Amino acid sequence: MSRNAQRSFYEFFAGGGMARLGLGDGWSCAFANDFDPVKAATYRANHEGAHFHQGDVWKLEAADLPGRADLAWASSPCQDFSLAGARAGLTGGRSSAFFGFWRLMEALAAQGRAPRAIVVENVSGLLTSGADFTALCAALAAQGYRFGALEIDAARFLPQSRPRVFVVATLAPVPSDLIGDSPFHTRLVREAHARLPATLADRWIWWCGAAPAARNSDLASLLEPDEAVTWHTPARTQALVDLMAPLHRARLDALRASGQRAVGGLFRRMRVENGARVQRAEARFDGLAGCLRTPRGGSSRQTLVVVEGGQVRTRLLSPREGARLMGLPETYQLPRAATSALHVIGDGVAVPAVRWLAANILEPLLDGTPAVLAAE
C-alpha cells in the first residue's frame, strides 16, 4: 500500500479504544465493537465516527464489516486465561467470545475479504494454556495465516508491571528484516512454540523489532500531588501494615528508618501459610505499579503506599493515575464514577506497547507487501 495512505483496521473487544490510540493517526478504524455499555460510552466520548457498534460479537455478520481491512485487532476477554481467574480457557463463558470474532474472520475469508494481518492480544496465561494456544494457532493456520507471539510487558514503556501476549498473524510475505531475535521472545513464548505440533510450528514467525528505549518514568512521577488526594485514616493504614508478611513488613520498616520518600503499590492477596488461607498485603517499591485490574472487590483496587519522614500513609490509586499508567493522554475522557473508570482502564491494553508493535512490525509488514495469501 502507499505509505501516504491510511491503513484500515477493525477493532474487536475495543473497550475504551486504547488499541486505536496506540496504532495512531496513520490508521483508520473502519469498524469497532464492544458489548459493555460503559466501555462503549467511553469509546464514543474519545473517538469520533459512526463506526462503533455496541453489542454481542456473536450477533454480528460479515455484512456489518465494511470493505477489506488491513488489520483485525482482537483484545478478547482475558479472565479465563488470567492467573487470577478460573483458567477455563477458550471454552470459558467469556473467552469463548473469541470464537464469535473468529467466525467473522472465517466469513470474511470466504468472501475474499480476509484481513491481511490479525493481532490477538491477551494475558500471558494464554501461552501456558497449551490446548487453547494450539487451538488458536490451528485456527489461524486453517485460514492461511502464518503467525508468531511476543510477550510484551508494559513496564518496558510505563511504570506498570503488565505482561501481555500479542499473537501477530499475516497473510502477506514477511520481509526478512522482521524475522529474528527479540527481547519479547520470553521463556513462555519459547515454551509455547515448543509445544506446538510440527504442522503449526512450521508456520511460526519469530517476529523481531528494535528494542524499546529505556523507560524514563517511575510510579511516583505519575501521581497527583499529595494535597490533592484523599488519604486513608491512620487506623486503616495500620490495618494494611498489620496484614503484611514479615518480609514485606521488614522492607517497609527499613524504608521508614531511612527517612527518605518512597512510593509503592500494594495489593491484598490470599496466600496459603501453614496449610491455611491468609490474607496478606504485599507492596512493591521498585518504581512500578502492580498490574492494574478491573475493580470487582476491595482487594482488586491498587493501594498506594507513601513512606516519608519515618511515617507511612496509604490511599487508593485514582482513575486518572491509572490512565497515566496505561499511557493515556490527559485529555482522555474517563467515566465519572471511579469504579467504571477503573473497569475501563483495567481491561485495556497499554498504549505504548501497541505503538511499538505498530511501528516495528505491523506498519513495515503492511506497507511493503501486496495483499496476497502466504505460500503454503
Mean pLDDT per 10-residue segment, the chain (376 residues): 75 96 96 96 91 94 97 78 43 66 96 98 88 91 98 98 97 94 97 97 96 94 96 97 94 94 94 92 96 73 94 97 98 96 95 97 83 33
Distance CA 4, CA 116 (A): 18
Helix (H, G, I), strand (E, B) or coil at 161: coil
CA distances in angstroms from 75 to 38, 56, 98, 158, 237, listed in the order given:
17, 14, 9, 19, 36
Residue ranges and CATH numbers for the domains of the chain are 7-216+346-367 (3.40.50.150), 225-317 (no CATH)
Dihedral sign from CA coordinates of 148, 88, 125, 162: positive
Which residues in 212-241 are b (16+ Cβ under 10 Å) and which e? Answer: beeeeeebeebbeeeeeeeebeeeebeebb
Q: What is the pTM of this model?
A: 0.91
Would you call 270 helix, strand, or coil by DSSP?
strand
Kind and range of the H or E run holding 151: strand 146-153
Crossing angle for the helix pair 37-46 and 338-346, to the nearest 10 degrees: 80
Count of alpha carbons within 13 Å of 243, Cβ hemisphere only?
Answer: 20
Question: Helix, strand, coil proportions of the chain in percent (round to 5)?
Answer: 35, 20, 40
Predicted pLDDT of residue 78: 54
State residue 298's pLDDT score: 52
How many angstroms from the chain centroid is the CA of residue 355? 12
Burial category of 103 from C-beta neighbours within 10 Å (exposed 0-12, middle 13-18, buried 19 and up)? middle
* Amino acid letter, 279: Q
Quote the pLDDT of residue 98: 85
What is the structure's pLDDT at 3?
Answer: 52
Q: Are strands 303-308 and 71-74 parallel, antiparallel or unpaired?
A: unpaired
Cβ atoms of residues 43 and 15 within 8 Å = yes
Give the single-character DSSP code of 32. E
Coil vs helix vs strand at 70 = coil
Residues 247-254: contacts with CB within 8 Å, 24+ apart? 248/280, 248/281, 248/282, 248/283, 251/283, 251/285, 252/283, 252/305, 252/307, 252/312
> What is the C-alpha to C-alpha distance for residues 283 and 223, in angstroms, rounded to an integer?
17
Instruction: Write b or e for each residue in 361-375: b if 16 or more Cβ atoms lie within 10 A of its Cβ, otherwise e.
Output: bbbbbbeebeeeebe
Q: For 324, phi and psi rounded to 5 degrees? A: -65, -35
